[in-house]
Structure 1
């Protein structure tokens, strides 16, 4: 049996589909059988991560642990999480998992360092910023971390939830202004640090990939590397 990668998704479904699509796009396959075996959990009843962290809402950890265990029981030998904010619970998930769970945060911070750029902006959820998930890893590597102003961050969140509600055009209109503001603050590259953001800014990230660090894309590349290791 080939190694199987499990995707812990559903946070939200569009972000999960984006990760799946990136696996397909990045795998040099000439037929169905050459693609990477994936098991995808896209069960969207996991409690909202931002609400849990910022408003005392129900923890998503029990549900995430349940779905990780289901993926492992189904044959997954490695897990990737299709949600940045969910990585707040990465250590807890790894502690209860019998297979490796690759970190999107560490993978992206490593890519930022390897890029040779020094000033790194971020577009992410309030919870990801408040918990310092990326800030800690970026600054640990000696890089400058730049995040939106409180006013701009409110609009970043509006854009993310607008996409979740299915309005891509409005979400893009809002987020485009926020990435311009980060570049104006001196950011040399921007981490797309919420799994909805690469979808919203897909055209920009495709046109000038050197200016964006797509956390989803980077994690998929790392997972493919894991799969290809002997």
Structure 2
């Protein structure tokens, strides 16, 4: 029996759509899916949690909501669970405690991809909460990868871009701003850059070639598909 891929999304909604699209496209490109029954069963639960992009005040409410969804999803036959949001990974360890189904971490998956490519210095574009919680920095440190984070003013600029994407009002100026911050990270020594918020691949310029970009959504999608097709 094929076990489904479980995704807790909605943080934000457009990023979850993007993740679903990547799962389908990668199924075709990497796993040879052609017919309907070649594609994975995907259960995407879009959860409208309180905003904790830049604040942890609503974290307890968000955790309770997500915990309830994890319990519900565990009643279904799943190959794996995941959270389609970098910032929400601050809750991952506690969510895992009540889940017989194994989670695949977006953070861990990205760091593994960096290891494969022998990246030694990586820039991180992410929300204030993701950066302040050191989700990426601590995981990178385990493998001797130096993290380069934006300056304080740049972090708030990135946050504004992310909010614009969620609101559906992001434009070319937001894209230009991200390019400018990425250029600064490369000047400071980054030989790769993590798009460490699921909204960022929706607005970051695809034409950027100065260093390799690590799309956290695409990397997690590929990890989920590997688990799924291994278990089919």
**TM-score under structure 2 normalisation?**
0.91
Runs of 4+ in 1 over 6 A off after TM superposition: none
Cα deviation for residue 217 of structure 1 reads 0.8
Q: Give the aligned partner of residue 16 of structure 2.
A: 16
- Larger relative CO (CA 8 A, sep 6+): 1 or 2? 2
Shift of 1:131: 0.5
Match of 1:219 in 2: 220
The answer as to whether partners of 1:124 and 1:193 remain within 8 angstroms in 2 is yes
Distance 2:160 2:80 in 1: 33
Q: Deviations over 1:171-223 (max 9, x none)?
A: 3232222212211211110011000111111514xx64961111111111111
1:26 — aligned with what? Answer: 26
Match of 1:35 in 2: 39
Q: Work out the number of aligned pairs and report it.
A: 225
Distance 2:58 2:106 in 1: 24
Structure 2 portions without partners, runs of 5+: none
Specify the SS of the correspondent of 1:49.
coil
Structure 1 residues 127 and 194: CA distance shift in structure 2, 3 A: same
Q: Residues 29-68 of structure 1: CA distance to partner in whole angstroms, max 9, x if unpaired? A: 1122211110010132x12233552xx2352111111112
- Structure-to-structure mapping, 1:170-209, within 5 angstroms: 170-201=173-204, 203-204=206-207, 208=209
Provide structure 1 residue ranges, at least 5 long, that are not aligned to the other structure: none
Q: What is the TM-score normalised by the length of structure 1?
A: 0.92
* Structure 1 residue matching 2:168: 3-state secondary structure: coil
